[in-house]
Structures are given as C-alpha cells and as structure tokens.
Amino acid sequence: MADAALSSRNSASFLLGQKLDSIPFSAYHIAIILVLGLVGFTDGYDLALTGSLLILAKGPLHITPEQIRWLTIAATMFVVVGGFISAAISDHVSRKTIIQIGVVGMTFFTLLIPFAQTAEQLIVVRLLTGIGLGFAITAPFPVAAELMPAQHRRTYGAIYEICLASAFALLPLVAGLLVGNANGFRWIALPGGLALFVVPVLVHLVIPQSPRWQLRHGRIQTAIDTVNQIIRRAGSRVPPLTLAALGPNLREAQALLPPFRNLFARGQFRWTAVGIVTAMCAGTGYYMCAILLPKALIDQGAAVTMSFGITTIVFLSTIPGKAFNAFLMERIGRRWTIAYALSGGFPGLALMATAHLCGDLAGIMTTAGAVLLGFTSLSAFPATRVYLSEQFPTALRGRGNVFGEAFGRIFAGVLAPFLIEPYTGSAFAFFGTIVVVLLFGAFIPLLFGKETVGQLEHVTEGHGAAPLGEPVPAIAG
C-alpha cells in the first residue's frame, strides 16, 4: 500500500497536478471563472425558461393541459439524452469541445423559440434545446476542477452557481413584467438565443484545454505547453514546467482510456453512486421550484404576479446562500455542507406549505419560507456539483461527471416534475415531496461518502479507484 501511494505521488499526472496547484491565483483564473460563469448563466437561462413559458405561452399558443405536462419536461428530458451522448464521448474528446458543442446547440435552438407558432413547435424546439443543454450544463465542472488550484475550486463553484442563480432570479422577474403580452414568451427567449453570438467566442479565446486531459491522452509536450501558457497568463510567478520535472515514469500518462464500465467497477462504484444520488436529490429541489413553483403557487390560490415574485425571491436568496455554502465547504468539508444545506430547507418549505392557512399572514410566511429555502437547500450546488466531479479520477472525470448529472436528472428533472405536475394544487403533495427528497439527500454523503478536499490526484487516484487502463508501448510527444 505504501509503495502504491509513493508510486502515485511520483506519477506524471500527480506532478503535473501539483504544478497547476502551485500557480498563484490570478486575474487569468478570474477570467476563466467569469467565462465559465457566463456559460452557467446561459445554461441556467435556457433551462429555467420552461417555468416562464408554461405561463406566458399558454394563452397565445392555446396550449392544452396535456401539452403543458409535456412542455414541463421537454427540455429536461432531452438534457438527459444529451447528457448520455456527452457522457459516452467525454474523456475521448476534450472538455472544451464538449462545452462548445453544448453552448452552440442550446443557444441556437433557444433562438428559434420566437418563431414558434404552435404548441407542438414549441415543444419540439425545447426538446432540441435540451440536447445542447445536456452537453453544456455539466461540462464546465470537469474543466474548472482541473484548471483551478485546489483551494480555489470552491471560488469557481460559488461564482458559477451565483451566475446560475442570477439567471433563475432574472427569468421570473422579467416574466412578471411580460404577463398579458401576447408575444411575451418570444421576448423572454431572445436573450438566451442571442448568446449564440457571444459565449462560444469567449470560450474559444479564454478557456484552455485541460493539461490533465492532454497528458492522459499521451500529448505530453502539449500538456506541458498548456501548463506554461497558464503560468504566463497568470503572471509567470512560478518557474515553467519541463519534461524532466514530470519524472521518468511517463508511460502511465499515455495509458489506454479506461472503459465506461469502470464507473461501476469495484473500488469506484460506491463513489459513483454517492455522487449521483446526492446530486439527484439536490437537483429535484431545484427542478421542482424552477419549473413548477410558479404554477404551484397559482394553483394554490396565489395571483400570477405574486407567483413570479415569490419565485424571484427564492432564487435571489440563493445568491448569498451559494456564496456562504462555497465558503463553508472549505471550512467543514463537502459532506457536512451538503447535509446542512439540504436539511436546512425544511423550515422554509414548512412555512410555504402552511401559509395558505394563515389568512392575512400568508404572504409574509410564503416570503419568509422562500428566503429560507433559497438560502439553504437551493444553494447546495457549489458543494454538490464540485463533490460529484471530485468522485472520479482524471481518466473517468468527464464521463463520470456528465453521466452522473444526466442519470440524476431522469428522476430530478423528468420523473419528479412529470409525476407531481397534476398535484401542484396540493401544498402537502408538492412541498412534502420536496422535503422527503432533500432530507434523504442530506444524509447520503455523511453515511456513505468520503471527504474530497485537496489535490484531485490525491482524493481520486489515491483512494482505491478501479483500474484505469493499461499503458501503451510508446510515448508520444
């Protein structure tokens, strides 16, 4: 065991990761975070658009109750499809390529929403948007996990999630202003579509390829050049990386890519399952609120404008909540932060579920519940998404992260909203379902998970993961 640990610490991947972690945090790292954050804002805008379309497009397109139910899950259902496609090719193609495919796809189809003339056309466009989202929505986390110094992965997670939260908060606010406008659903889709001409360009110019991914594919000199490019852009405050610094054992850098089934192999399956279930439970809380909360509040007696207002408050509260959780996850660890956040939403959900029984105080109770829910459970994602990405070694990280989020969305974003949509008029059924799922997710990482703070190679490759593949005979580059 000691020999294996020593070998791991002398490996090229470990030494390269150590070099990346030694680069001082700089304006260039901030630029990477902001561009990936813009990707996240666009992801969030295009994904959460469903909740506004359910209200704004219903009248102008004469959408039937059955079509409403399918529109509820159209985008998310194909996020799962796109996610599985992305999972199959991730690690084979670069992290940056996956982002570009996703961003171009989702923004292009969102740009088609203003041209929809029927409910059927709108549903088809949302289905196609979902495929692009399936690529784009998870790809930034493997990229950032491999580019950020270890102590700043939480910085990225916080800013990325705050960008998402800003999109989630902006949409219902704008939707409330467009209520009664026959073309409101067209106008609200336009910003997400026009991002097609901005976001892919910024990704191309600012985001480098992952040196870890390049090294894993035997592109040793390219990986070294990329690390040195990052060092220069970060101010050249550490010496450049050299081939000699990676040590004599470079064969492992060109090991064959492990098969997809290694996600479920002995030594890895437990971490795969813990990451997926944790992300799934947190995701269920998000999707139920982002997609169905405005409709649920209306069905339970609230005015249309109030329903959008409460939804805005929920997601505005996640902005400070996600910053706090990102701070907390480096102090008490990922697992305890997740447990606090997911269980902490119970009081807020209880207030929202019982507000209709309180007469004149109903509005105050609903607002207070929305703030508590947003600040805790819906702010868990800096921890849950980083935690999911950290469950996998480098050679499985792209596929594992994307597959994990896609698989989790089968329940979180498709089955749960589809099954609960007919019962949104019942406060007990709607809010009670969210409570049960969040409390379940709160204790999964505590009971079955591992803590993952630290250098990626130390918390993944060094913890008994499944075999990652055999080395090939020759060294390239």
Query: Which residues, 6+ apart, have CB-to-CB distance to 78 below 8 Å?
Result: 126, 127, 128, 129, 130, 131, 133, 134
pLDDT for the residue numbered 323: 86
C-alpha count within 13 angstroms, C-beta hemisphere, residue 6: 3
Both structure tokens of 147: 């580019």
pLDDT for the residue numbered 254: 55
Query: Which residues, 6+ apart, have CB-to-CB distance to 448 below 8 Å?
Result: 270, 273, 274
286 with 381: CB under 8 angstroms?
A: yes
Q: What residues does each domain of the chain span?
A: 8-459
Q: Of the candidates 298, 259, 235, which has an alpha carbon nearest to the alpha carbon of residue 51?
A: 298
* Per-residue pLDDT tens digits for 200-229: 999 999 999 888 888 878 888 898 999 999
Query: What is 303-368 written as a DSSP string?
Result: -HHHHHHHHHHHHHHHHHHHHHHHHHHHHT-HHHHHHHHHHHTHHHHHHHHHGGGSGGGHHHHHHH
**C-alpha–C-alpha distance, residues 179 and 216, integer Å:** 52
**C-alpha–C-alpha distance, residues 223 and 357, integer Å:** 62
pLDDT band for position 279 (50/70/90)? very high
Q: What is the mean pLDDT of the segment spanning 167-178?
A: 84
C-alpha count within 13 angstroms, C-beta hemisphere, residue 362: 15
**C-alpha–C-alpha distance, residues 196 and 83, integer Å:** 20
pLDDT band for position 60 (50/70/90)? very high
Q: Between residues 476 and 17, which one has the greater pLDDT?
A: 17
pLDDT band for position 176 (50/70/90)? confident
The pTM of this model reads 0.70
- pLDDT at residue 43 above 50? yes
pLDDT for the residue numbered 252: 52
* Per-residue pLDDT tens digits for 256-278: 678 888 999 988 999 999 999 99
pLDDT for the residue numbered 476: 33
At 333, which amino acid appears? G
- pLDDT at residue 460 above 70? no
353 with 432: CB under 8 angstroms?
A: yes
pLDDT for the residue numbered 455: 59
Query: What is 412-470 written as a DSSP string?
Result: IIIIHHHHHGGGTT-HHHHHHHHHHHHHHHHHHHHHH-----S-HHHHTTTS-PPP--P
Q: What is the mean pLDDT of the segment spanning 186-194?
A: 93
Q: Give me the chain's average pLDDT, please.
A: 85
pLDDT for the residue numbered 248: 67
pLDDT for the residue numbered 200: 94
Q: What is the mean pLDDT of the segment spanning 356-385?
A: 89
pLDDT for the residue numbered 227: 92
131 with 82: CB under 8 angstroms?
A: yes
- pLDDT at residue 477 above 60? no
- pLDDT at residue 143 above 50? yes
**CA 40: distance to chain centroid?**
8
Highest mean pLDDT among 107-121, 214-228, 350-364, 446-460: 107-121
Which 3-state string (H, E, C) describes 100-168?
HHHHHHHHHHHCCHHHCCCHHHHHHHHHHHHHHHHHHCCCHHHHHHHHCCHHHHHHHHHHHHHHHHHHH
pLDDT band for position 468 (50/70/90)? very low
End-to-end alpha carbon distance in the chain: 32
Q: Between residues 65 and 464, which one has the greater pLDDT?
A: 65
pLDDT band for position 172 (50/70/90)? confident
pLDDT for the residue numbered 102: 92
* Per-residue pLDDT tens digits for 280-305: 999 999 888 888 888 888 888 877 77
Query: What is 41-104 written as a DSSP string?
Result: HHHHHHHHHHHHHHHHTTTTTT--HHHHHHHHHHHHHHHHHHHHHHHHHBTTB-HHHHHHHHHH
Percent of the chain scoring above 70 in pLDDT: 91
pLDDT for the residue numbered 3: 41
pLDDT for the residue numbered 471: 40
Percent of the chain scoring above 90 in pLDDT: 38
pLDDT for the residue numbered 165: 80
Superfamily of domain 8-459: MFS general substrate transporter like domains (1.20.1250.20)
Highest mean pLDDT among 42-51, 229-238, 401-410: 229-238
pLDDT for the residue numbered 435: 95
pLDDT for the residue numbered 170: 85
**C-alpha–C-alpha distance, residues 296 and 174, integer Å:** 19
pLDDT for the residue numbered 2: 38
**Based on C-alpha coordinates, what's the Rg of the chain?**
22
